[in-house]
Each structure stands twice: as structure tokens, then as C-alpha cells.
Chain A
Amino acid sequence: MAWFKKAKRQRPVGRERPRSQVPEGLWVKCEGCREIIYSKELLKNLRICPKCGYHFRISARERIELLLDDGRQKELFAGVQSTDPLAFKDSKPYKDRLKSYRKQAGEKSAVIVVEGEMEEIPIVLAVMVYGFMGGSMGSAVGEKITRAIEEAIHTERPLVVVSASGGARMQEGVLSLMQMAKISAALARLRDRRVPFLSVLTDPTTGGVTASFAMLGDLNIAEPGALIGFAGPRVIQQTIGENLPEGFQRSEFLLQHGFLDLVVKRTELKETLARCLRHLLKMPAKVAES
């Protein structure tokens, strides 16, 4: 399909590189093909293996850079952060965990909400931070995504949510579970107002995030090879006591079973999302640049 497309100039990936899966070394081993890749080459290629197309995880900030037009981005609700409503403690108090994740991830919570433009379409964008406690959803994530939805309703800007999450956050107990209901209720209102909602599922999207907003997009779009499911593969394996089928719970598997609209490469994600939005917004098609 890509034969008529202009070769796109790759967007540079932020100067100060946030933490992600790609280590700082010169060379990286690809998890897809086991080949050794030169890190610089990987970064230039949006962290997609140039040899096999394996999509390495990218940070939420990189994702925002990738999806939004330069300039005029405004971060929203940046101060919202989890407290410790249950005074939860396992081997370590939840309060301390929060502190260290804030430091380590350089974020206050596991989701970033921004207003900006995607191919000149004003949108509200929420991107989950997998590096913050596995992108788990507690009250802060629930609140920020709900506010993002309310902002989309209020401004009539389309909503794009990029998920990357292990599911609900255990340390906030049932309050985490309630975020699924809260967000879904807000999405019902967004639907009533006929404001488009595109859900982008990236590696990994599981548990309560999949079982709420990630599966409720007008379109559900995933990156190739992402783990997407409700129960974790290990839990399922323990339950059924046998090996899981090849490719189980990967994007292509979900596409095949009818739960995704599209599987889109990272290099084509922005233009695909924008094209979908233009259709849903009945905006005139972008004139091809010459």
C-alpha cells in the first residue's frame, strides 16, 4: 500500500532522551530477530528494528512528539497525582514507591494529557506512561483521563488515548477498579456528543485498561506485535495448564478475531490517525504536498 506514499522525513526523537527500553549502549539486541543493531540507527528509525520491524517501546514523551505537530502543545492537569488512600504497604509502603517512580520516570503520574494539533487537527491526547509503575491505573490516571474526556466534550476536540498499561493499580484497591467505571461513564457522554475517540493500544495493554477505555474507541488501533488482553498470559497458562497458541494476545491475533480496526506501524501511525479523524470530522482531505 505504501508505494505511492512520499518517503517521510523521520521526526527527530527529542534531544534529552527519556528512559525507555533502549539502553544507552552503542549496540542493542533486537528481541524480535535477535540481531545486533546499532542504537543510533534504532533511534533514527523511531525505535523500530530496521531488520525485522520489531517495535521497541517508546516513552510517553517521545510518543507525544511523534503524534503532535511541533509547537502549540499544552500539557493539562499536570499536577494531578496519586495519594495513598489505603495506607498500603507490601514489602515497601506505596507512598515510597510513588516517590521513587516519580523520580525515576520524571512524571507525576502514569498518564500525560496534552492539547495540541495532529496534522493541524486540534485534539486532546492522553498517553500512558509505562515507565510509571507499569502504566498502572490508579485514581490519578483515572482522574486525568476522565478530565481529558471532559475537555474533549467541552472543546469538541477529538480524543486520542494511547494505552500502555499492566492494568488497574493494586495499591489503591477497589478505587482503581472504580476508575474503569468512571472513565467509561465519561466516554458515554463523549459518545452522546459525537466527538470522535481513537484508542491506540501499544505494548503492553492488559487488565482493567483494556477492559475499559482501550476497547471503547470509535476505532481501536494497535501497533504491530503489542501484547493486548484482559488476563495476563501467565495467569491463563496457569489456569488451562498448557502452552498458549503462537501469537496469542498479540495485535495481529486481536485483529484476526475482530477486536481491532487496524494494526498500524509506528511510522504510519500519525498520518493514519489524522486520516481517520478527518473522515470522522468530515474535513476535506489533505491536499498532497508536491
Chain B
Amino acid sequence: MCALEAPFEEPIEELRRRIDELEGFPPGSGRRKELKKLRSDLEKTTKEVYGRLTRWEKTLVARHSDRPYTLEYVGCLMTDWVEIHGDRAHADDAAIVAGMATFRGRSVAVIGHQKGRGTKERIERNFGQPRPEGYRKALRVMRMAEKFGLPVLTFVDTPGAYPGVGAEERGQAEAIARNLIEMASLRVPIIVTITGEGGSGGALALGVGDRVLMLEYAIYSVISPEGCAAILWKDQQKKPEAAEAMRLTAPDLLELGVVDEIVPEPLGGAHADPNEACRAVGEALARNLEELEGKSPDELLEHRYERFRVLGAFDEKG
């Protein structure tokens, strides 16, 4: 790969290259000392770079193709995975995966966007942009989870719902809307984790729950920075300005009350150490799930309602 997905990582990459190079040399005079210095430089530089990421740079981290996706979280945190397919009406949408797994001793339903790696799989999974059948598969699995009392864990990472002719013909809007009303009334615990890109309605359609967790460098927004820049600035290149203005990062959303908890990422982002990222998500999920499992369905629904009811900022005059 020539250009870095996250160009601001250039100094980090440079140090990594030098470390790799040096590690290839035979041991000898000063090598260990030099390596030690490089490694401490690497840590220092990574901390510096990641300590001052702009909102647009965080967007690039959120989209990084080495970040863990839903199936990696499943593989890392769960056992006995059974993936299930299809919406029982039209098709199976590979942009959303769904199934059942054992998570720390209990069965759970898992639903999440799946972006795919490598050109072939990315195309198969439509770059993680679901069509209506994806949302309807998700809903079918949620209803089954409700029927059998399984908690639902969703993983959100999508540029958005797919804007295509077929998707519109089959009711993209209806499919998203249906999930919102049904997730608001599902009588089992739902924990949502925004793991990468929370792209608008296509993200929200898996995003209504009792808890909404968000990874440190994930983003969540009403429209992509590119889309916002194209409409409001009439220039897609103003995406950094748009990202800044929309305040789409985890700390922003925690402040606005949209997310409940930020899951810390390893130094250098989840793509630098996917296993560590998965582990942190697992800890947060387990803790939140334990809290929710003590509540009755009525309590869950009451709190879930209040959680979303208070979101927004307005005043009232006259």
C-alpha cells in the first residue's frame, strides 16, 4: 500500500519501519540499546499523535480497514457461534451478520454490520452498507431473541444504509423505521456498541438499546462529513470542517448524552492492537449486561424510553 489510510500516522509508521529493520539485524553492538530507544520513541510519538487527533482524523481511524469488525468481536469474545441468514422474505444481506453465541456463560443474540476485508469480500458485503433485507434479518433475530429471552448485542459499523434503486423499491425507509419502533419495545436487554462508523439511519437501525457504548475513536453522525460538506459547504473537500462542526466523536457524544460509556482503545487505535480492543469491549459488555440482567422487562422498557426521551436541545418560550 502506498498512501496510508490515516496519513497522520506517518511518523508512527516510520518508527515501526526502523524497528522492523533493526530487528532483522544480527544482535550486536548497541542494537539492543537502539531498539529500546526506538520503542520508547514509538510510544511517545504515538501518544503525541493520538493525543491531538482532529475530528476528521478520528473519522479516518474509525474507518481504518484493520479495525475489528463484528465477526472479530464474536471470534474473540464468544464461543459456539451459529450464524443465521436471511430475512424470510427476499434475501440474505451480507452487510449485516446475525446469530447466536455464548458470551461468558450465557447465550446471546449478536447482530452487527460487517464491512469485509479485501476487495472481493468488501464487494460481497457491499462495504457494510445494508439493504432493507439486512435490517429485516436483524429484526427477525431480535424477535427470536425476545421469544427465548436472550439478550441482544449489536455492533454498529457502517457508512450508512445503501442508497440504491432496489433498496428503495424494497422499502429502505420502512425497514429502518420498523427496527426503531421494535427495538424500543423489545422485552430483552439490548446493548449497542458503536465500534467504527455510526453512519446515520443505517447505524441507528441497530442502535436503539438500554446501553449505547462507543469505542474511543469511533464516530456517530447524522450524515457523513463528505455528505455534510457537499450540501452545506458545496464542496466535499471541506469534510474536515464538516466533521469538526458536527461533533461526531465519542467524547462529543458522551457529553450530549447520546452514548453512555466510552470503551478505551489501545494506544494507536483499535487497528494497532485488535485483540486488546476486543478485550476492552468484552469487559464493558459483561459489566453492562450484568447490570441489565437484574432488571425486569418493564423496567428495561421504562428506562430505555427515558434514555431516548430526554435527547435533544431546545427551549420553550411564550
Give the interface size bracket for B toward A.
35 or more
Could you list which residues of chain B lie within 8 angstroms of chain A, going by C-beta atoms? 161-165, 167-174, 176-178, 180-182, 184-185, 198, 200-201, 204-205, 207-208, 220-223, 227-228, 231-233, 241-242, 245-248, 253, 256, 258, 304-305, 308-309, 311-318
- Contact A230:B222 (CB < 8 A) given known A188-B181, A248-B165: no
| Contact (Cβ within 8 A) A230 B247 | no
- Contact A172:B181 (CB < 8 A) given known A185-B208, A185-B308, A211-B176: no
Contacts of B223 in A (CB 8 A): 168, 170
Could you list which residues of chain A lie within 8 angstroms of chain B, going by C-beta atoms? 77-83, 85-86, 88-91, 108, 138-140, 142-143, 146, 168-182, 184-189, 191-192, 207-208, 210-216, 228-232, 235-236, 239-240, 244-245, 248-249, 253, 257-259
Contacts of B222 in A (CB 8 A): 168-170, 172-174, 176-177, 208
Contacts of B258 in A (CB 8 A): 174-175, 178
| Contact (Cβ within 8 A) A182 B315 | no
| Beyond A177-B201, A177-B222, 11 extra complex contacts between A and B, CB < 8 Å | A80-B316, A81-B317, A174-B222, A175-B312, A185-B181, A189-B305, A211-B161, A213-B177, A215-B178, A240-B164, A259-B171
Q: How far is the CA of A86 from the CA of B245 in the complex (A)?
A: 7
Q: How far is the CA of A232 from the CA of B177 in the complex (A)?
A: 17
B186 to chain A: closest residue by CB: A188
Q: How far is the CA of A168 from the CA of B163 in the complex (A)?
A: 16
Interface of B is mostly: helix
Q: Which of B312, B313, B316 has the most chain A CB within a 10 Å cutoff?
A: B312
| Contact (Cβ within 8 A) B317 A79 | yes
User: Residue A174 contacts which of B165, B176, B205, B256 (CB distance < 8 angstroms)?
Assistant: B256
| Contact (Cβ within 8 A) B164 A210 | no
Contacts of B162 in A (CB 8 A): 239
| Contact (Cβ within 8 A) A86 B246 | yes
Contacts of B241 in A (CB 8 A): 90
Contacts of B247 in A (CB 8 A): 86, 173-174
| Contact (Cβ within 8 A) B201 A211 | yes
| Contact (Cβ within 8 A) B309 A177 | no
Contacts of A258 in B (CB 8 A): 171
| Contact (Cβ within 8 A) B246 A231 | no
Q: How far is the CA of A231 from the CA of B228 in the complex (A)?
A: 14
Q: What's the nearest-Cβ distance from chain A to residue B122, in Å?
A: 15
Q: Which of A90, A175, A178, A187 has the most chain B CB within a 10 Å cutoff?
A: A178
The 7 closest A-B pairs by CB, nearest first: A139-B312, A231-B163, A184-B180, A85-B313, A185-B184, A210-B173, A230-B173
User: Residue B232 contacts which of A170, A211, A248, A253 (CB distance < 8 angstroms)?
Assistant: A170
| Contact (Cβ within 8 A) A211 B172 | yes
| Contact (Cβ within 8 A) A178 B308 | yes
Contacts of B171 in A (CB 8 A): 215, 257-259
| Contact (Cβ within 8 A) A181 B232 | no
| Contact (Cβ within 8 A) B246 A184 | no
Contacts of A213 in B (CB 8 A): 177
Contacts of A90 in B (CB 8 A): 232-233, 241-242, 245
| Contact (Cβ within 8 A) B314 A82 | yes
27 CB-based A-B contacts, threshold 8 Å? A77-B316, A83-B315, A86-B246, A88-B246, A90-B233, A140-B312, A146-B309, A168-B200, A173-B246, A173-B256, A177-B221, A180-B177, A181-B204, A182-B311, A184-B208, A185-B180, A185-B304, A185-B305, A185-B308, A211-B201, A211-B205, A215-B173, A215-B177, A215-B178, A216-B177, A232-B163, A259-B174
| Contact (Cβ within 8 A) B246 A235 | no
Q: Which of B181, B233, B318 has the most chain A CB within a 10 Å cutoff?
A: B181
| Contact (Cβ within 8 A) B177 A184 | yes
